[in-house]
A and B are shown apart, each in its own frame.
Chain A
Amino acid sequence: MNKMIFKFSSVTYAMRAKEVAENLGARAEVKKNPRPAKNEGCGYRLTVTGNPDRIVTAFDLNRIRYISYEMV
């Protein structure tokens, strides 16, 4: 199990991503991005614990638009 952080501009996508991740058995939590980049302003992040490949594939299949992700 790996921990990943996905960045989103829209909370709606972050919440949909959370559901998709949880349907795969992952643990996921939506929070506001505590350290937005200087040129981004407000945004959200989803912290997911699960299988990274499956989660990224599922997000792509579900047309979930995220800004970026990183492994932590």
Chain B
Amino acid sequence: MIYLDNSATTYPKPKSVAEAAMTAFTACGGNAGRGDYEMAIRTTESIYNCRKKAALFFNSPYCENVIFTQNCTAALNTAVKGLARNGSHFVISDLEHNAVLRPLYKLKEMGMCDFSVAEVASDERATVNNFKKCIRKNTVAFICTGASNVFGIIPPYRALSEAAHENNLLFIMDAAQLAGVREIDIQNDGIDILCCAAHKGLYAPAGTGFMVLGENVRLNTLLEGGTGSNSASPRQPEVLPDRFESGTPNVPGILGLSAGFDFVNKKGVENIFRHETRLMRYLQKNIESNGKVIIYTDFFDGIRRAPILSFNIKGLHSEETAQQLSKDGIAVRAGLHCAPLAHKKMKTEDTGAVRISPSAFTDKNDIDFLINSVQKIAK
């Protein structure tokens, strides 16, 4: 199988990730942050080490501000619902995933919050102005994807965070597609809440995510429960990360993530980005001349586009194209990619699109095989 669905979840995982996850069953089986026996302490230390790696990776000065979650969706729900108060208003981009749209839609349906959708334009200044125009008296945050999970568009997030802060708003980034693919520095980029999937560009097991909180970000909790701290009190602890980490943690996932950080650090984020971008440029160059192929990812300049290419073949629904590719042993993702706003923006809401997303393991032979298959289908 040629796997090109890495924006959904990376595959294969590095051997080191599988081995690290396995240690949760062989050496780190104790209940982290609770037990005082040797194995529990070893498990606790392993989780702590991953927390430190995450803090370092995103330039957070405080590792306790790294909060492990079930996935990026859980992190975004914690951010949105933790911040929402009665009457709050949010501004989101027109590229957001349902992980952002649906929590806000639910809050809106409940009559609790409202939100506006700002267009990400081709020009940075226009994008910032679009966000600014949506600000109301009761706006609390801008929420913006680091990169569109369908079209690879990278919004000008640093300029948006500046605009948010100038207006005393928080800036929340959905970094599901960007973490591990592009350098993210929460201090320099002005990110107040960074929400990440661990199983995509960080090569960790599925079911693992986290958020990194900036300084002085105050959120309500979504989950309350046992934290192994202050147990006599019925009140959820204030201290981080305990406040947001109720229940037994996903030790295999977190230990896998720890090895994922090592893998990405060893390869180098910029090298991974360059490698994947080169492959997508090569793909684009080799299918764009086919009159039956419509490419939606317009260019790969190495700055404003993540290495994701979406296309359709005239006369076919994206799912039909994906099924034909699957017959050739090529795994891609078709449909709406849980991002109806982005598809509406690109006018692909009826057909969806076929998304090609490489990883550090993808090579030119994989893309050549894909090109041949696409040309065959688009004859």
Contact = CB atoms under 8 A, between A and B. Distances in A.
Interface of A: 9-13, 15-16, 30-32, 36, 38-44, 63, 65
A47 B313 CA distance: 66
A39 B233 CA distance: 7
Contacts of B34: 42
Contact of A10 (B45, B231, B232, B239): B239
B233 A12 contact: no
Nearest to B33: A11
Contact of B229 (A9, A30, A39): A9
B233 A16 contact: no
Contact of A9 (B36, B51, B239): B239
Nearest to B37: A32
A41 B33 CA distance: 13
Contacts of A10: 64, 227, 229, 237, 239-242
B290 interface: no
- Which range contains the number of B residues in contact with the other chain? 20 to 34
Given A9-B237, A12-B48, A12-B51, A42 B228 contact: yes
Contact of A15 (B35, B45, B230, B232): B45
A40 B64 contact: no
Contacts of B35: 32
Contacts of B237: 9-10
Interface of B: 33-36, 41, 44-45, 48, 51, 62-64, 227-233, 237, 239-242
SS class, residues of chain A in contact with chain B:
loop
Given A30-B41, A42-B34, A13 B232 contact: no
A35 B232 CA distance: 13
Contacts of B48: 11-12, 15-16
Given A10-B64, A12-B63, A41 B233 contact: yes
24 contacts: A9-B229, A9-B230, A9-B242, A10-B239, A10-B241, A11-B33, A11-B48, A12-B33, A12-B48, A12-B51, A12-B64, A12-B240, A12-B242, A13-B239, A15-B45, A16-B48, A16-B63, A38-B232, A40-B230, A40-B231, A41-B232, A42-B231, A44-B229, A65-B239
A60 B5 CA distance: 47
Contacts of A15: 44-45, 48
A29 to B, nearest CB: 10
Nearest to B243: A10
A43 B36 contact: no
Contacts of B62: 63
Contacts of B239: 9-10, 13, 65
A42 B33 CA distance: 10
Given A10-B240, A12-B51, A65-B239, 7 more contacts: A9-B230, A9-B237, A10-B227, A12-B48, A13-B64, A32-B35, A39-B232
Contacts of B227: 10
A41 B63 contact: no
Contact of A11 (B229, B231, B232, B233): B229
Contacts of B63: 12, 16
Contacts of B232: 36, 38-41
B48 to A, nearest CB: 5
Nearest to A37: B232
Q: Identify which of A12, A16, A36, A63 gathers the most chain B CB atoms within 10 Å of its CB.
A: A12
Contacts of B230: 9, 40-43
B64 A41 contact: no
B137 to A, nearest CB: 33
A68 to B, nearest CB: 14
Nearest to A36: B232
A12 B241 contact: yes
B278 to A, nearest CB: 40
A41 B237 CA distance: 12
Nearest to B32: A11
B241 A31 contact: no
A31 B36 contact: yes
A41 B239 CA distance: 15
Nearest to B226: A42
Closest 10 CB pairs of A and B: A41-B231, A41-B232, A32-B36, A42-B231, A9-B229, A15-B48, A11-B33, A10-B239, A12-B64, A9-B230
